[in-house]
Amino acid sequence: MYIYSLIILDVFIYLDYINFNAEKISSAVKAFMNADLPQELIHLLERILHGSETSPFRENRSLENLLILTAIKSDRSRLTGLLARLEKYDAIEIAIFAIGKELYEEAFFIYKRFGMNALAVRVLIEHLKDIDRAAEFAASCEDPALLEILDNARVSMAANQSSAGDESATERGLSAEEVCERRWRSLIDSKKYSEAAVLATAAANQLIRTEKTLRYLKLVDSQAEQSSPLLLYMQNLLEQGRLNRLNSCESVEFCKELFKQNRKEEVQRSLKANRLECSEQLV
């Protein structure tokens, strides 16, 4: 039945192609939609759009939109090819519709293809839940705005993980501060300074960024054979968003370490950028 329908459709297109106009196309499309013949409709639309290089409807936005939406509903095997081949469809509307149908890879492809990189990276973070892939994509775009989105996502994820850990730990009689500190120490011991900085930034009420945790960090630092864990950690703290700054006790230790390495110009740059908190000790 399907093949027979396509033969009839091809004959119809062949006999009337020269005389095609918007009214006839609209009538034909409505007829196939009313008859619930999505495969035949897809075939019709593809022939109208690409059956001839001289077709006046070759880049018709409405027909391209209808073709993609019909493929999403009825024949997703065609979707990747259509999204890559067609040029004039409404990218944002189609991507939103795709997300509603849980076609996240297709939505990412659309946003990426049309240069909407901020929306593309959000699909990777919020729908595909792939922070590593989002980081790779953001790095390839070389756009500071994408790195800011990525930083915010990492902080949010760390906060959610911390909250979940706090709830389970509370049931075991541990305080939220104890849970956060244990997790933070584990990351420091594993030399995962970036993750430790993210957790410290995300933790509520500055639970981790205290003199107590700094003392532990200085102990680890004194036992380090090469690069300074304290300095690496502080640098990662400063990378958690453009508005993030070190508190007073962190600022003092950060500057001490830089002075030890004769890196006074970095201290001056950090002060000028308002990334350090001034105090009597720092002065």
Which one of 43, 59, 89 terminates a domain? Answer: 89
The token pair at 226 is 């090469």
Count other Cβ atoms within 10 Å, centred on residue 57.
18
pLDDT score recorded for residue 175: 67
Q: What is the residue type of 181?
A: E
Number of domains in the chain: 2
Which one of 31, 61, 89 terminates a domain? Answer: 89
pLDDT score recorded for residue 231: 80
pLDDT score recorded for residue 225: 67
pLDDT score recorded for residue 81: 94
pLDDT score recorded for residue 267: 80
The token pair at 140 is 């390839």
Assign 240 to helix, strand or coil: coil
In a domain, 130, yes or no: no
The token pair at 102 is 């849980």
Residues 6+ apart with CB under 8 A from 41: 29, 32, 33, 70
pLDDT score recorded for residue 88: 92
pLDDT score recorded for residue 97: 92
pLDDT score recorded for residue 159: 56
CA distance 206 to 57: 61
- What is the distance of C-alpha 183 from the center of its chain? 26
pLDDT score recorded for residue 170: 46
Count other Cβ atoms within 10 Å, centred on residue 186.
13
Helix or strand run (H / E) with residue 244 = none
| Residue 208 lies in domain | 175-272
What are the mean pLDDT values of the chain's consecutive 10-residue runs (283 residues total)? 45 48 72 82 84 77 90 93 94 92 95 93 91 90 82 66 50 64 82 77 71 81 75 75 68 84 83 76 58
Task: Confirm if 44 and 32 have CB atoms less than 8 A apart.
Answer: yes
CATH number (domain holding residue 230):
1.25.40.30
In a domain, 283, yes or no: no
Which one of 65, 89, 113 terminates a domain? Answer: 89
pLDDT score recorded for residue 111: 93
| Location of structure tokens 């149908």 | 101
In a domain, 126, yes or no: no
In a domain, 242, yes or no: yes
In a domain, 167, yes or no: no
pLDDT score recorded for residue 1: 41
pLDDT score recorded for residue 282: 58
In a domain, 170, yes or no: no
pLDDT score recorded for residue 44: 82
In a domain, 144, yes or no: no
pLDDT score recorded for residue 156: 66
In a domain, 81, yes or no: yes
